[in-house]
Structure 1
Amino acid sequence: MAKVIDPELRRPITELGMVKSIDVAPGGDVHVEIYLTTAACPKKAEISERVTQAVADVPGTGAVRVSLDVMSDEQRTELRKQLRGDAAEPVIPFAQPNSLTRVYAVASGKGGVGKSTVTVNLAAAMAARGLAVGVLDADIHGHSIPRMMGTTDRPTQVESMILPPVAHDVKVISIAQFTEGNAPVVWRGPMLHRALQQFLADVYWGDLDVLLLDLPPGTGDVAISLAQLLPNAEILVVTTPQAAAAEVAERAGSIAIQTRQRIAGVVENMSGLTLPDGTTLQVFGEGGGKQVAERLTRAVGAEVPLLGQIPLDPALVAAGDAGVPQVLSAPDSPVGKELRRIADALSSRRRGLAGMSLGLDPTRH
């Protein structure tokens, strides 16, 4: 049973107290009873299949039967304490001094530059490398991450703790998972701030290596809230080669100067369309990404690299609509290679203790 991993919590069910009982008949038939966190657990069938397979793999096992039960309120409370501690109020784990999670806020000056496409592909590429990755869809009004990640699952709630769905080995949370159909979200600043705060504090993310936030375009309420809630987040600016788009993207990156956040780099999307004869058509001009990187470098007084230039490819759009990021569906395509190269550059920066308090007081003897 220790080999059975809960698909939502990503931990062995034996550690989570989910094994109720195991009965082995004299002939080798096995009956296993499993506790679910809630009766509406969306992964009950998958859990049952995993348990059946794990038991069937034991030599000498006969027929396997799995029964499902539901945790009591007391058991759910113990599970929540085990996972998140017994704090009276949930805290944002990524804002704590001892957090080792690298947080990237993917920003753009204007909509339509492919910011969400870049986010989901980077997340999927990092997860494929074996990293623990989460994506927070912070674009409350223009949410699109669940569709592009190919998931329609809804979060599971254990008391006040929210368990995010997992798609392509990436934990995903979005306001779209809490609304019916394609209903619009009509909220002002305070509600946007509260939603972002809940997604960061109430969601059980586990021990992530990387958290990516898909921000709304511009420098509005969510960007300001992010700076307050996650001052250690690094800004990843997405632009197109067009000069007009680059100027707007520069503004989005410049907010880091006011919030004192680090700019991780610039990604140029829709960089050029490769024609059948091998030439490249610059549909949206050229040089925008380099321009943004150079100007932000001068503005912040530190190097802001141009991390990559993603070619224009209709297959990238199709992959997003199909819910399978192109880094997974066509990893060896020019777009897939460039996105994986950018993901490697961002994820190869190891988690470390730089900048963390070691709890030492030089004045004491």
Structure 2
Amino acid sequence: MTIPTESEVLDALRQVMDPELGRNLVELTMVRDVVISPEGAVSFTLALTIPTCPMRNRMAQDARAVLAKVPGVTDVQITFGAMSEEERRDILGKGAPELPKLNAFNRVSQVIPVMSGKGGVGKSSVTAMLAANLARRGQKVGILDADITGPSIPKLFGLPAGGLRGSEQGMLPAVTGGGIRVVSTNLLLRDEAQAVVWRGPMISATIRQFWTDTLWGKLDTLLVDLPPGTSDAALGVLQNLPVTGVVLVTTPQDLAALVVRKAIQMIRQLNIPILGVVENMSYFRCPETQHEHAIFGPSHADVLAQEAGAPVAARLPIDPQIAALCDAGQAESIELEAIQPVVDLLLQPA
């Protein structure tokens, strides 16, 4: 029986990249304490930059996949460890990726991702309402729809599929009736119902291209509608765009609060400011009595805001008219006084 050598193991692991730093695990000194048993079982410690690294399971999966192809390897055991603060500073100092250059024709004053971590909380509708209200106040606004596989921004504004066009200088965004500039994968497709079945690296590359290749022109605010989760798309935006700060969206349910906490941890790890917490679907106001009913239970916004170190920017009601206007592609017609404090927050000088 052939027993693999440590050199063969390390050579194989050089094929595994840290998605955040763009360098291989061996080069980053993340592979430690390699042990190879007489039976061909390989074990090692994967020293993470932070113990809660969101990419750790992906890197471990990739490591097992490459080692399974090494002759003589019968099993792979990976233990997670963590770098010291000094090691982490050294690695991040050398490995931090350079932000992609913006198209020379563009001037974007601030980039604001709208994020939750949880699906179904209304991030896209909040993004659309923020954009419409900023535009009403005279701002030049764009929306980068980073929900690559489940885009909904074009539908909210009534923009038809295939609405993006190219030029020698770059990609021309679609423009809403109110002058909001939009890029989205649904604007690249002939049929808005066509599925986009892409893996993580292609999703990240598309987001980068939307940022670098689009002719945004002069924008006061670029809103980024993020998909649920804390993986490739969210990480790609938070690391590859010059983010000013994040608006967090949640709903009153305990489950939503649990998942939003994961997003808070991710944002903190990347040292990005959280500007405010928006609790969507916070209550339903009876049109006859004006009494507010907590349909989804008591609010958790204050607790989440405290954990995020940010204010509760708004509590938005359940309003069937908002849903109807969004379905009709008339998001710019929504009038909602409750969202104005969030708009005020985004208009404050940095």
Q: Where on the TM-score scale, by shorter chain, does this alignment land: which range?
A: 0.5 to 0.7
Asked whether 1:320 is paired with 2:326, we answer yes
Give the distance between the partners of 2:301 and 2:117, measured in 1 at CA: 13
Question: What is the match of residue 18 of structure 2?
Answer: none
Question: What is the match of residue 102 of structure 1?
Answer: 110
Question: What is the match of residue 55 of structure 2?
Answer: none
Give the distance between the partners of 1:221 and 1:134, measured in 2 at CA: 22
Question: What is the match of residue 151 of structure 2?
Answer: 143
The one-letter code of the counterpart of 1:350 is P
The one-letter code of the counterpart of 2:173 is P
Asked if the contact 1:155/1:177 (under 8 Å) is kept, the reply is: yes
SS at 2:282 equivalent: coil
Give the distance between the partners of 1:114 and 1:194, measured in 2 at CA: 25
SS at 1:135 equivalent: strand
The one-letter code of the counterpart of 1:268 is E
Asked whether 1:307 is paired with 2:313, we answer yes
Give the distance between the partners of 1:93 and 1:260, measured in 2 at CA: 26
Distance 1:140 1:256, change over 3 A: same
Give the counterpart of 2:229 among 200, 211, 218: 218
Give the counterpart of 2:189 among 179, 194, 198: 179
Question: What is the match of residue 102 of structure 2?
Answer: 92
Give the counterpart of 1:112 among 109, 112, 120: 120
TM-fit CA distance, 1:231: 4.3
Asked if the contact 1:241/1:289 (under 8 Å) is kept, the reply is: yes
Give the counterpart of 1:197 among 192, 208, 233: 208
TM-fit CA distance, 1:145: 0.3
Give the distance between the partners of 1:324 and 1:149, measured in 2 at CA: 6
TM-fit CA distance, 1:93: 5.5
Asked if the contact 1:245/1:288 (under 8 Å) is kept, the reply is: no
SS at 1:310 equivalent: strand
Give the distance between the partners of 1:101 and 1:267, measured in 2 at CA: 23
TM-fit CA distance, 1:160: 5.5
SS at 2:142 equivalent: strand
Q: What TM-score do the two structures reach when normalised by structure 2?
A: 0.67
TM-fit CA distance, 1:330: 4.5
Give the distance between the partners of 1:220 and 1:151, measured in 2 at CA: 28
Compute the RMSD of aligned alpha carbons.
1.9
Q: What TM-score do the two structures reach when normalised by structure 1?
A: 0.64
Question: What is the match of residue 349 of structure 2?
Answer: 350
Unaligned runs of 5+ in 1: 1-89, 298-303, 352-365
Superposed CA offset, 1:105-137 (max 9, x none): 111121110010000000010011100100010
Alignment of 1:60-75 (within 5 A): none
Asked if the contact 2:108/2:222 (under 8 Å) is kept, the reply is: no
Give the distance between the partners of 2:330 and 2:109, measured in 1 at CA: 25
Give the distance between the partners of 1:154 and 1:103, measured in 2 at CA: 23
The number of equivalent residue pairs is 246
TM-fit CA distance, 1:311: 0.7
Asked whether 1:285 is paired with 2:297, we answer yes
Asked whether 1:158 is paired with 2:167, we answer yes
Give the distance between the partners of 1:119 and 1:205, measured in 2 at CA: 17
Question: What is the match of residue 257 of structure 2?
Answer: 246
Give the distance between the partners of 2:103 and 2:174, measured in 1 at CA: 19
TM-fit CA distance, 1:207: 1.1
TM-fit CA distance, 1:342: 1.7
Give the distance between the partners of 1:231 and 1:91, measured in 2 at CA: 10
Question: What is the match of residue 207 of structure 1?
Answer: 218
The one-letter code of the counterpart of 1:186 is V
Question: What is the match of residue 236 of structure 1?
Answer: 247
Give the distance between the partners of 1:111 and 1:220, measured in 2 at CA: 13
